[in-house]
Chain A
Amino acid sequence: GDSVTQTEGLVTLTEGLPVMLNCTYQTIYSNPFLFWYVQHLNESPRLLLKSFTDNKRTEHQGFHATLHKSSSSFHLQKSSAQLSDSALYYCALSDHNVLYFGSGTKLTVEP
């Protein structure tokens, strides 16, 4: 079945350093949608960015990700972490009916 793997459960960074959160997926669907959702403390998850186009960079709020179907990856990156980026980040895969989430990566940015 469809699945999403996020290898890092916890990531701690110093403000100003680059961010990279890993996401790989498995699906039988040839045209999957991939998403990154962000959940701040005491809030519900909200969409950060999404893509279904192979090898095309998508950007939002300083974050970017590129869907690579050849490696089944959709890693999230940011050039310089901010304190306000501290949150739980979920990678997700859609077969156009259901959204399958990874286990999440908790990002903590320290001064």
Chain B
Amino acid sequence: GGIITQTPKFLIGQEGQKLTLKCQQNFNHDTMYWYRQDSGKGLRLIYYSITENDLQKGDLSEGYDASREKKSSFSLTVTSAQKNEMAVFLCASFDRGNTEVFFGKGTRLTVV
């Protein structure tokens, strides 16, 4: 079986700082996603990528950039961290053959 690894697990940043979250998958899946999880708001799509070097904006893309330089990796950048921003960012990849999405364990962001 495969695994999705997100780093770091916890990220503390300062207001206005540019922060990068990383995700690696060894499933060899083409499509990868970044979701933001907030209590009571579900999982909201920030960016997704259907292949290497492809980027598609989700509903929550403002304030974020993404990069897919290799098939196995998908990074997310918070361009300017907002004070009191707390959320969990989940990376995922899509097994098209079985129509199933697999998630990483998440990066918990706190901005002070």
**Mutual binders A and B:** yes
Tell which of A12-20, A42-50, A61-69, A73-81 binds the partner.
A42-50
Shortest C-beta distance, A36 to chain B (Å), equals: 12
Interface contact B100-A50, CB-CB below 8 Å: yes
Interface centre among B33, B99, B105 (most CB of A within 10 A): B99
B99→A90 contact, CB < 8 A: no
Q: Does B70 contact A (CB under 8 A)?
A: no
Q: How far is the CB of A37 from chain B (nearest CB, A)?
A: 8
Q: B4: nearest residue on chain A (CB-CB)?
A: A44
Residues of B within 8 A of A6 (CB): 42
A interface residues, tally (CB under 8 Å)? 23
Interface 1/0s, chain B 46-62, versus A by CB < 8 A? 00101000000010000
Chain A residues lying within 8 Å of B103, measured Cβ to Cβ, are: 44-46
Chain B residues within 8 Å of A50, by CB? 99-100
A110 CB, nearest partner CB in chain B, Å: 21
Q: Is A97 an interface residue (CB 8 A)?
A: yes
With contacts A97-B31, A98-B48 known, is A103 near B41, CB below 8 A?
A: yes
Q: Mark B17-51, 1 if CB is under 8 A from A, else 0.
A: 00000000000000101010000111111001010
A102 to B40 CA separation, bound complex (whole angstroms)? 10
Q: CB-CB contacts of A16-54 with B at 8 A, as 1s and 0s?
A: 000000000000000001010100000111110010100
Chain A, residue nearest B35 (CB): A101
User: In the bound complex, do residue A103 and residue B42 qualify as a contact, i.e. CB atoms below 8 Å apart?
Assistant: yes
Contact in complex: B58, A33 (CB < 8 Å): no
What are the residues of chain A within 8 A of B92 when measuring CB–CB? Answer: 99
- Ordered nearest first, which 5 A-B pairs have the shortest CB separation? A103-B42, A44-B103, A101-B43, A104-B42, A101-B42
| Chain B residues close to A by CB (< 8 Å) | 31, 33, 35, 40-45, 48, 50, 58, 90, 92, 94, 99-101, 103-106
